[in-house]
Structure formats: C-alpha cells, structure tokens
Structure 1
C-alpha cells in the first residue's frame, strides 16, 4: 500500500511547483500584468481540466478490477478506451476554444492588459488539451496496475521539463507569457508520449483486436462511470466555489483569511489523496480477483494509515499554523482573522479523512452512481447547513457548513458500503453462507 501511496503523495506535492515556477520565472520580467496573466490562464486550465478528473479515477478503478481478475487484454483495452475518450474530448476542446475562451475570460473579469496577455497564454496552451487529458488516463492506468512509481515519474518528468523550458523560453529567449505557455504545451505532450511508450512496452506481446476496444457494453460502462464521476466532481467544485464566493461577500479581509486557510486544506488533500489512490488500486484488484479477505485488508490498512496521517497533519496545522500564516501575509488584520479560524483548517483533515477513504473504495469498486448520488445529497445538506449556520455564526458558520459537507459525504457513502460489498462479492458471500456437507 505504501509503495502506491508514497509516490503519489510526492507526486501531489510536486504539482504546485508548476504554478510557483511559472510565476517566479515570469516575475523576473518585472511586469505585474504578466504575472496576473499567467495566474489567470493557469487557473482557467486548472478548473477546466479538473472537470475531466474522471479520466484518472475511472481508469484506475476499471484497470484495477481487470488486473485483479488477471484479464490482461482487458487491462490494455481499458487504456485504449480511456485514451480514446481523452483524445476525443481534447480535440473537441480545441475546436471549441473560442466560446470556451470568451466565457472563461468574461467570468474572470481581468484588466485589459492582463486579459490580453492571458489570451495569448490560452491560445497556445489549449493545443495541449489531448495530451493533458491523456496524461490523466495514463496516470490512472498505472495506479490501477499498482505501478504508482511510474505515475510519479511521469508527473516528475512533466514538472521538471516545464520548469526547464520556462527558464529557457522566458529568460533566455525573451518570449514572455507565450514562453510559459509553450513550455507547458511541450511538457504535457512529452509526458503523454513517454507514458504511452512505457505502457505499450509493458504490454508488448498482447494483441488487441478492435472489437475488444470498441465493445459496446464496455464503452457504455466507461462512459457511465466517467459521467457519474464528472457530475460528482463538478458538484464538489461548486461547493468549494460557493465557499469562496460567500467569503468574498463577507469582505476582503474574510476572503483573504479564508484563502490562506484553504491552502492548508489543499496540502492535507495531497497526503490523504495519496492513501486514497492506494485504496482505489488495492480494493479494485481485490474485487477483480473476488478476494473478500484481500478487500478487507486493503480497507483496514489504508484506513489506519489515513487516520494516523490525518491526525498528524491536523496537529502540524494546529501547532505550526501561526508561523505559516505569518509567512503567507504581512497584513496584520488578515493574520489575526486567519488565526481566529485556524481551528477549522486543523480539524478539516481529521473530519474529512473518512470521505477521502470512502471515495477511494467506491472508485476502486467503480460504484460511481453511489458517489454521484451521495455527493448530490451532501451538497444539498451543505447548502442547508450554510443557510442555518452563517446568519448566527458568520464565517465560523461557513466553515462549520464545510465540515458538515465532509461528514455528510462520509455518512452517506458509509450507508452504501454494505451494498457495495454484497454486490461485489455476491458469489463469495453466497458460498460462505452455504452449509458444508
């Protein structure tokens, strides 16, 4: 389990380096609007691609189950189907880039100088859409096989290539924002090509007929799984966007304090997601192999590690949070407010660990309909909690409502867990219930 979780935690931690290096490199040019342009452009792609996170999660679950069942041709066919979806979606994004850009930049509302430079960034990086989405599919496939080390190396290759090309194109060639976008375009494309080459080499000797890849039932299942995860992800994105919007309505100081503390949540997610990835792979393989004991072991061990890690992260936030807050802003009013609400950032990983773990179990089992439905229920409860708690408690009520979202997600998925196990291991459980002669 740690062989999967460890590399993925390190991979998650390296991801923010892209944005940090992009900002640092473009910042050497001394123009504030260029820094803003890179930030706006990168944000658009981050949120837009996040909606396609199903390519990673769905591919992991389907691959793990096929691998556990030792159906090697289906393992490879799953990758081909995921790449087919990624390529189709990527080409569609390129073809629809004009309306996407107009809608995105209208929502961002940046200044004319920032808007103009950000559009240059967008117009270049948009061409990496097929490769960026293919990377999601490839990373999901390698995690599903339990080869998290390869997934980590692909992410590291992408990040280091991006860093090197940024420095070359911006500082040496003087390409400005266009250089940052070109560096990311080449890095994402290169990582996708390397990942595909490694996957094909690992599958050398397997012959896949087109009818297996285009199997109607398998394609329908993949589309259904991906559609459910997409709805779930968009609902979660709405919940966090709503949280930010309500902070903004409360004033600039509250918005700034919440923004700082949300970085704490992002950091905790890097760690808890690593354990959840291992949970996806191990539970998926156990279900594919119809091995109930292995399933119980995967759930038990990953949950113990996740719980311990969440307590450690929460403790670090509580004990060292003041220092981090001071490092992130020099505004004393914002510092004071952030300290007032630090307890929520420290509690978040402890309260939220169960929903991370259950997400991993349900993704491994490809029980995505339950994930979708329980997320929609949790979102409704979250909005009700916000309506009830914020009038009397203000920003504390807003944070409490976010904790209610985490708790509701965990409780609703936990209620569906017995049905997941019953359906996934029906034959095993039926055999255990049959009296021996």
Structure 2
C-alpha cells in the first residue's frame, strides 16, 4: 500500500507545484497535458499488467528461467516502444491538442508539458515492465523503493525547474521526464539484485532463440493485445472527462484535475490489494490450486473494501483542507470543493472494480478485461452525452457511474473463470493455465 500510494505522488507534486503559483491557466495546461500523456503512455500499461500475471504464473510453476526471460523481453519491448513514441512526438502532440483544445493559453502550456514528457517515454515504458516483473514475484518492497526514488527525484526537479527557474508547465514535464530516467537506472539495479545477476549478464547467458521463442512471444503479445485495448478503452474515459471539463472552461478543467488527484491516490492505494491478488491468483493458477485462488480473492477483497470505506470517510472529513493546500486560485478552490463528494465516493464504489481487475489480470484473462472495458466506456460516453445539459454535475455523475459499470461487466465473467481452474497435474510441462 505504501508503494502504491506513492505512485500518484508524481501527479500530485506536479499539481501542487504549479497550483501554488496561482496561475489557473498553467494548472489547466498541466491537466490537459497530463491527460494526453496518460492516454499515450498508459496505452502501453499492458507492459506492467501483462508481465505481472505471466511472471507470477511462471514463478508459481517454478519456471525460473522463463521468469528472467520475461524481464528481458519486457524492458526490451518497453524501451523500443518508448523510443518510437519519442520519434513521433510532434504529430502525436499536434493531433491530441487539435482534438482536446482548451483555448490558446491552456493549449500552449499543455504543449510545453507534453513535449518535455515525451523525452522520458523510453524510461517510463521500461519502468512499467520492471514494476510488473517485481510485482509478479511479490517483491513489493523493491517496487516501493523504486517508486520512492522516482517521487523524490520528481519533487526536487519540479521545484527547481518551476519555482527556481520559472519554467511553468514545461518545467513540470521536464522534471517528471528526468525522474523517469533516474527511476529506470534504479530499477535495473534493483532487478539485478533480485535476480542475482545484472541485466547485461542475464542477456549474455540467454540464447537469442530463447528470448525470441515464438510460442512465448505469442503468449505475451496475445495477453498484451487484449490488455492494450482494455487500457485504451478505460483511458478514453479519463480523456473524455478532461475534454468535458475543458468544454466548461479553464477553471472547471483545473478543478476537475485537482479532484482526480484524490481519485488517483485512492485507486493506487487500493490497487495494492489488487496487485497482491494478481500475484496470488497467478501463482494459484500456475500451481492449479482452486483453494489458493479462492483464498486470494476473499482476503484481498475484504481488505480492499475496508480500505475504500476508510479513504472515503477521510476525504469527506479532510478533503477541503487538502484542496486549499493544493491551489491558491479562489475560483478553482470553490469549484473543486463543490464537486468533492463525487471524488470522495469513488474509493468505496471503485474497490470492487479494482479488485476484479487484479483477479483477471493475474489470471491473464485479457479478453474478459477487454470486453468489459469497451462496454463500460461505450455506456459512459452515452451517459455523459445524455447528462450534458446539467454541466459539471452531469460530468461527474457519468464518471462516477463508470466504477459501478466496470464491476458489473467484469464480474459477469467470474463464474466462468472459477470453472476453468485445472488441477496442477493436468498442466504438463509447466504450461500456463491461461
């Protein structure tokens, strides 16, 4: 939970550093830019999710050679995709801003932020893979250290570039990109210690034919393909939310971005239980153990629901004080405070959907995740369009409803998953049950 709660601190630090300048336009620019980057970068979030499930299953089946191979494949694919994004940053940025324009000043700030963030793309995507690998092995303490290093670096760089050098939204983007490269170097060192050999040493002792094994790569890409579609579908929800806020003005866009930081903290904190479920479910399926599978779901879900209720209560009690610490613009504060109850309810409403994500990611059931996410996104967009006459109230009602929709659509696949569990002795040769 500590490691996961620290993940959104990158976004919170970005928001606070620029929010305390009192420039609502710059904060709105960071909000719009962060939405664009999240859509682009997290479209490749399958590197984290897919690697967690596959690593956990390989570890549960005692296939340690494949565990190391998954690490090398993950960082190789992540780094390559990141450099590809960097090469196409100009057309990607132009296209995104054309679709999600928030006005001349906001778009200019967003462009500066996005351009700087793309220089961290190779590191960011490789870190996705590293984090997924560590979580698949249950090395949560190592993942925590990695996140702490990234957050500390991001804070120092942001403060120096924005408050010190006066670089505004561009400084926020550059600071975060720099922190991602520092995190990559740290992650490679950590993984080397976990594996007992440096990444370079691992690469030397693996035949090229094994790393490029068609069957294993096909499995990796099959899982990742569905997870990518699922991730893009859910990211479209947040992109649509930002676009709806931008349509209502810079103040509303900035206020909604502040409230999203509350949701990010809750989502990542409670995802700690989902990630535990991913590893435990993957290991249970790798071992072909139905009792371990059920126990993993029950224990993690109980803790997640309790945690969600406590976070919701804390947001209702302390939320306005936190908003006051984050921004100095009065209009942004008032708007954020008015819609705080919606953000406060999300931890409780979202806990079931996040836990189900963990179960199905650990089971590498990409098709179920894909289908549920696509249906949820379609229903959300229809609901948002229907509620547009109600302004930002309609925006938040539709957005909050997505968490219930996610739980219902994905939960429908749970009985089939339970029926599919096969005893370990039927999984000859260490094959994966998923």
TM-score range, shorter chain: 0.7 to 0.9
Give per-residue Cα distances to partners, 1:66-125, cap 9 Å, x unaligned.
111111111111111111211221121122223223324444647778767766665555
Maintained 8 Å contact 1:303/1:357: yes
Deviations 1:149-203 (A, max 9, x none): 111111211222333345566777x594676655544432232123123323332
Gaps of 5+ in 2: 428-434
Separation of aligned partners in 2, 1:140 and 1:59:
5
- Alignment-derived partner of residue 58 in structure 2: 66
In the alignment, the residues of structure 2 paired with residue 234 and residue 319 of structure 1 have an alpha-carbon distance, to the nearest angstrom, of: 34
How far the C-alpha of 1:337 sits from its partner, in A, is: 6.3
Query: How far apart in 1 are the matches of 2:338 and 2:107?
Result: 36
| Distance in 1 separating the partners of 2:120 and 2:335 | 41
Cα 1:78–1:252 change in 2 (3 A) is: closer
Change (3 A) 1:335 1:113: closer
Distance 1:175 1:210, change over 3 A: farther
8 A Cα contact 1:422 1:429, kept in partner? no
C-alpha contact (below 8 Å) 1:292/1:428 kept by paired residues: no
Counterpart of 1:12 in structure 2 is: 7
| Mapping of residues 182-193 of structure 1, within 5 Å | 183-193=175-185
Residue in 1 aligned with 2:216? 218
The 8 Å contact of residues 255 and 335 in structure 2, kept in 1 or not, is answered as yes
**Which of the numbers 48, 51, 60 marks the counterpart of 1:56?**
48
Alpha-carbon distance in structure 2 between the residues aligned to 1:326 and 1:34: 17
Moved more, 142-151 or 215-224: 215-224
Superposition deviation, residue 37 in structure 1: 6.8
Q: CA 1:186–1:351 in structure 2 vs 1: closer, same or farther (change >3 Å)?
A: closer
- 1:374 aligns with 372
Are the counterparts in 2 of residues 7 and 148 from structure 1 also a CA contact under 8 Å?
no
1:42 positional shift: 5.2
The correspondence of residues 147-226 of structure 1 with structure 2, limited to 5 A, is 147-166=139-158, 174=165, 176=167, 183-204=175-196, 207-226=205-224
1:366 is paired with a residue whose SS is coil
Match of 1:410 among 407, 411, 414: 407
Tell me by how many angstroms 1:258 deviates.
4.6
User: In structure 1, the residue corresponding to 2:5 is in which secondary structure?
Assistant: helix
Contact 1:359/1:371, CA 8 A, preserved across alignment: yes
Which structure 2 residues correspond to residues 254-265 of structure 1 after superposition, within 5 A? 258-265=256-263
| Contact 1:61-1:281 within 8 A present in 2 as well | yes
Cα distance, 1:87–1:362 mapped onto 2, change above 3 Å: same
Question: Of 423, 426, 433, which residue of structure 1 is paired with 2:422?
Answer: 426
Pairing 1:306-385 to 2, within 5 Å after superposition: 306-324=304-322, 341-385=339-383
| SS, match of residue 7 in structure 2 | helix
In 1, distance between residues paired with 2:154 and 2:345?
35
Supply the distance in 2 between the matched residues of 1:389 and 1:40 (Cα, whole angstroms).
22
1:267 alignment partner, SS class: helix
- 1:222 and 1:315 map into 2 onto residues whose CA distance is 40
* Distance apart, 1:231 and its partner CA: 1.4
Residues 37, 154 of structure 1: alpha-carbon distance in 2 compared, 3 angstrom cutoff: same
Distance 1:101 1:123 in 2: 7
Q: How does 1:42-121 map to 2 (within 5 A)?
A: 44-107=36-99, 109=101
CA distance in 2, matches of 1:297, 1:343: 34
| Residues in 2 aligned to 1:166 and 1:184: alpha-carbon distance in whole angstroms | 7
Give the distance between the partners of 1:334 and 1:114, measured in 2 at CA. 15
Q: CA separation in 2, counterparts of 1:101 and 1:60?
A: 30
Distance 1:324 1:279 in 2: 31
What is the distance in 2 between the residues matched to 1:245 and 1:265?
18
Q: Alpha carbons of 1:321 and 1:128: their partners in 2 closer, same or farther (altered >3 Å)? A: closer
Q: Aligned equivalents of 2:103 and 2:247: distance in 1?
A: 21
Q: How many residues align?
A: 420
Provide the alpha-carbon RMSD of the alignment.
3.7
Which structure has the bigger radius of gyration? 1
How far is the alpha carbon of 1:297 from its aligned partner?
1.4
Per the alignment, do residues 377 and 331 of structure 1 end up closer, same or farther by CA in structure 2, a change over 3 Å counting?
same
Q: CA contact under 8 A between 1:64 and 1:285: conserved in structure 2?
A: yes
Q: CA deviation at 1:369?
A: 1.0
Q: Which residue of 1 aligns with 2:291?
A: 293
TM-score (norm 2): 0.82
1:291 CA displacement: 2.0
